[in-house]
Structure 1
Amino acid sequence: MLAKIAPSDPLLPVNSSCWVLTDGKIGDEVQCLGIAEALGVAPELRHVAPRRAYAWAMPYGPIDPQEGPERPGSPLAAPFPDIAIAAGRRAVPYLCALKRLSRGATFTVFIKDPYWNRRRLDLIVVPEHDRLRGENIFAPLTPANRLHGWRLAAARDAADSAIACLPRPRVALILGGTSQHHHFEPKDIAAVAAIAVQITEAGYGLMVTPSRRTPAALLDAVATALAGRPQAENIFFWRGEGRNPYVAILAQADAIIVTGDSVNMVGEAVATGAPVHVYEPSGGHPKISTYLARLEALGAIRRWQGKLEDWHYPPVNATPDIAREIARRYGDFRSRGR
């Protein structure tokens, strides 16, 4: 299936073919698609679905033989692409297998640390706060995303009617959730709910959107805190039903409050150029702290201190840089006759 990609100035030779190879996880796929869009190509989406025993061993084990290139519906069925962009640990063996099956002709790009067969891949894109470095490593500040300037501009010009009616300033409240390193204790849930109330009481338009990881307790607490308030007409609360208005919410936001459990969500917020306030839930990790500190030093974010602040900074989005680096290295790859 071909991904629907808006036109962009191509960085690759005309008619270059591209696969996006993942197990379907939205966070991985979004990064790969964002890069493909920045490259100016419409990739073919290939989803891997190894059986449990094989998935358990990944990224170190082999591909599932039932998804071998000769099997019907295989994610590795020929013809092979010029470039393959992959993400997620289950995709690692498949990307390595593709490199072998194409006899080295496919330029392979992996997003984040594959932890295995690093030298067999042509390019690995890891965040700057990850300490992995090497000849085939590119380390941008923020993860890739699909929040290109043209997409944000379109969302600003054609706002959803439920959002367009909100008063300005409009504040986006982006809710993350439990992760390997962060969790929302009762005090965090109460704090986030209080932030939502504070924004509405100040007369701002409030746009609330959760992620797939947002715990029900957090979502319910925010909803309960906002229920029946006199400013109800100033609130847009998306709870997962229907089309996801995430891009529209970010594009329409005059300020953003995002929970600091997700590197990706913070990276998407700073791509807008709107002031980004980060509320850090319980837990943490040194790498994420380093990432937030870098963005704070650039003036893109501020830690939540109990009130909205206003400041300006150029949007921070590493996706075009990642695409240019892939295009440069792919050009070198082709010039060597690969």
Structure 2
Amino acid sequence: MMSPDNPLQGRSCWIISDGKAGNDVQTHGIANALGLAITVKRIKPEGIHKLLSPWIGVSRGVRFGAPGSDFAPPWPDVAMSIGRLTTPYIRELKRRAGKATFTVILQNPKVSLKTADLFWVPEHDKLRGDNVITSLTAPHGFTEERLAKLRQTVPEYLSALPGPRVAVMLGGSNGDYTYSPAALERLERAIVALGEIGASLLITPSRRSEAAVVECARRASARFPGMFWDMTGENPYPHFIACADVFLAPADSINMTGEPCATGKPVYVFHPDGGSAKFARFHQALERHGATRPFTEQLSNLAEWTYAPLNSGAAIARQIVARYKTIQN
């Protein structure tokens, strides 16, 4: 939560969303840390406006600024976007609203720094400038207060499981990492190794997890105590984050690697095939902080280590307030 001198507390905020869950986690994490009154503006550009984003303008069909449009005055005090598809909307809003709206772009859509008042990128991204702020991990909603509340209301199915409880987050292939047959074999051995040392396994897929990844994890964990979320009913992921003693995170997900680092508890990282220089910088930075270690399949026991928890949402919010005050003055 922000301090009483936060001039953005209670102000109106548009979150321009492309509907991707990982992106919404980041924008909402910052907006909530700022205490903003959020209105989500969903966008779904098609055709050339999807193909050429972020460099093309907003489609005329959106009727940006016209009465009755989703993007009509009164303009918000703050607007936030993430991802290349949302960038044309923040650019158009800045052009029309001017100084009435403080605009923030998360991540690096590779556009001019004049597109918004402020940019945030993770430290492993090389974008820098006078209006660029950074943090080690991506923003999320797992504040100290939220984690404490979650620990006060532990579901019975979790409290009944013997410790240590290991949260296993499943990733999926993307442009940098691939879950090849060899990677799946390593993932299976990793999960079996955790089970064989006596851990209860709390397993959750992501929307990117292909069927082969899910089935691999299901097969590997079948004979061990735990819970496997089948993506129906209430998502137990927040309780997994709050209640797990140790984590196994996928290297291919910035969010699922960074979020458990808010707990100060050990985070092992499973690396599928591939990678990139940007991901390597991210993982090296977390290792230097003492938050994560690469997972080894020859695991005889769970190591114990601690570190300063990483709550980037609050840290980014403080930087945004400082920049906002500078601009307003």
- Normalising by the smaller structure, the TM-score range is over 0.9
Q: Secondary structure at the match of 2:154?
A: coil
Aligned twin of 2:221: 226
Aligned twin of 2:228: 237
Aligned twin of 1:332: 326
Q: Secondary structure at the match of 1:43?
A: strand
How far does residue 272 in structure 1 lie from its aligned partner after superposition? 1.5
Aligned twin of 1:252: 243
Deviates more, 1:26-35 or 1:50-59: 50-59
Matched residue count:
325
1:182 equivalenced with 2:177 (yes/no): yes
> What letter is aligned with 1:102?
A
Aligned twin of 1:3: none
Aligned twin of 1:287: 278
Deviations 1:11-37 (A, max 9, x none): 334542111111111111110000011
> What letter is aligned with 1:248?
H
Change (3 A) 1:41 1:14: closer
Contact in 2 for aligned 1:278/1:304 (Cα 8 Å):
yes
How far does residue 68 in structure 1 lie from its aligned partner after superposition? 2.1
Deviations 1:48-72 (A, max 9, x none): 1222221111100010111123557
Identity between Structure 1 and Structure 2 (%): 38
Gaps of 5+ in 1: 1-6
- Cα distance in 1 for residues equivalent to 2:284 and 2:294: 10
Deviations 1:255-294 (A, max 9, x none): 0011111122111121121100011110000111111111
Deviations 1:102-124 (A, max 9, x none): 13321100001121232231100
Gaps of 5+ in 2: none
How far does residue 195 in structure 1 lie from its aligned partner after superposition? 2.0
Q: 2:303 aligns with which of 303, 306, 309?
A: 309
- Cα distance in 2 for residues equivalent to 1:17 and 1:183: 41
> What letter is aligned with 1:52?
G
Contact in 1 for aligned 2:30/2:313 (Cα 8 Å):
yes
Contact in 2 for aligned 1:128/1:141 (Cα 8 Å):
yes
> What letter is aligned with 2:215?
D
- Cα distance in 2 for residues equivalent to 1:47 and 1:9: 30
Contact in 1 for aligned 2:8/2:35 (Cα 8 Å):
no
Change (3 A) 1:73 1:145: farther
- Cα distance in 2 for residues equivalent to 1:141 and 1:101: 33
Contact in 1 for aligned 2:11/2:37 (Cα 8 Å):
no
TM-score w.r.t. length of structure 1: 0.92
- Measured on the aligned residues, the alpha-carbon RMSD in Å equals 1.6
How far does residue 151 in structure 1 lie from its aligned partner after superposition? 1.2
Q: Secondary structure at the match of 2:319?
A: helix
How far does residue 200 in structure 1 lie from its aligned partner after superposition? 2.1
Contact in 1 for aligned 2:174/2:252 (Cα 8 Å):
yes
Q: 1:273 aligns with which of 264, 267, 275?
A: 264
- Cα distance in 1 for residues equivalent to 2:308 and 2:120: 23
